[in-house]
Amino acid sequence: MMNMALDVLSWILLLGGGFFVFVGGLGLFRMPDFYTRVHAASLTDTMGAGMILIGLMLQAGWTLNSGKLMMILVFIFFTSPTSTHALAKAALFAGARPLIARREKSKEKNKLPDSDKEDAPS
Amino acid sequence: MKHAVSLSVLLFGVWLLLSGHYTPLLLAFGVVSCLLVVAISLRMDVTDHEGHPIHLSLKALIYWPWLIWQIVLSNIDVAKRVLSPRHPISPNIVLVPANQKTDLGKVIYANSITLTPGTISLELEDNMILVHALTHDGADDLAGGEMHDRIIRMESKG
């Protein structure tokens, strides 16, 4: 019974991870410019990789392999923001202009002034 | 010194995990190679509070679950925006303050911003982080400063 439940849970996680990887890939095509595409790609290496690795850990059980999978997960979570940042910064410095959407007055909740930059709270 | 000890323990733990061989000879090789790595990193002067932040370990256990929850929430949000036929995105760039006391705190903040889908830190300069956000809502959430305050609490003493 316990094994059955673990199996079902791990399959849900694996399929969910696959779904997020797929959506990340789809977003890579659907997004309009470089920076928004990077956002879509980050679905793949957070939820996608995370859910798949946790699902695999449940399949492996309490073995050495689970520990190794855990290490992969930790390394991905430390390295992927670094590489994403390096990529985005390089693009910015190479002169790729990001698309900027104007704030619409109707949707504004009077929380911030209507500027695109320097929305820093005091 | 305590950084060197904890680094040795960590390295040997990783070695045990990755090797899977537990004969005395190989264990001895493992110990020797870990000590060698620690000796080299001591000479390189990288075993300090930045390279090996053990003073944050306990507080990270409070921060990480919260961060992981935020990552899950924003993943679902971005996935919806990718799949939605109306394509509801409003990309923008904002400057958010990073008033963490240490460089390490600022890097943790910038990394957390990037790790959360929907926001990417483009540049970290002095006390400001330039952030590209997929939506205005995402930028507003970040400017609300909850993540910022949590990291300040994590790096503060006590």
Report the residue from B82, B95, B115 with minimal CB separation from A40.
B82
User: What pTM was estimated for this model as a whole?
Assistant: 0.82
- The answer to whether A111 faces chain B, any CB pair under 8 Å, is yes
> Touching check for A4 and chain B: CB below 8 Å?
no
Q: Pick from B10, B97, B112, B110: which is nearest to B57 by CA?
A: B10
Cβ-nearest to B123 among A30, A71, A89: A89
Whether ipTM exceeds 0.85: no
Task: Return the residue of B nearest to A110 by Cα.
Answer: B140
Q: Could you read off the pLDDT of B75-114 as tens digits, one per residue?
A: 999 999 989 888 788 888 889 998 888 888 898 899 999 9
Q: Given an 8 Å threshold on Cβ–Cβ distance, is A30 in contact with B89?
A: no
Nearest to B112 by CA among B150, B80, B58: B150
CB-count exposure of residue A37 (10 Å: 0-12, 13-18, 19+): middle
Q: What is the pLDDT along chain B (158 residues), one digit of tens a residue?
A: 788 888 899 899 889 888 878 899 999 999 999 999 999 988 988 877 777 777 777 888 888 899 999 999 999 999 999 898 887 888 888 899 988 888 888 988 999 999 988 899 998 888 889 999 998 888 888 888 888 888 888 887 65
Chain B nearest-CA distance from A73, in A, is 12
Cross-chain CB nearest to A81 (options B75, B83, B114):
B114
* Minimum distance, in Å, between the CA of residue A36 and any CA atom of chain B: 6
The pLDDT tens digits for A49-85 are 999 999 999 998 888 889 899 999 989 988 998 999 9
Asked whether the beta carbons of B78 and B33 are under 8 A apart, the reply is no
Nearest CA in chain A to B114: A81
Give A47 or A106, the one with higher predicted confidence: A47
Question: Residue B97 and residue A120: Cβ atoms within 8 Å?
Answer: yes
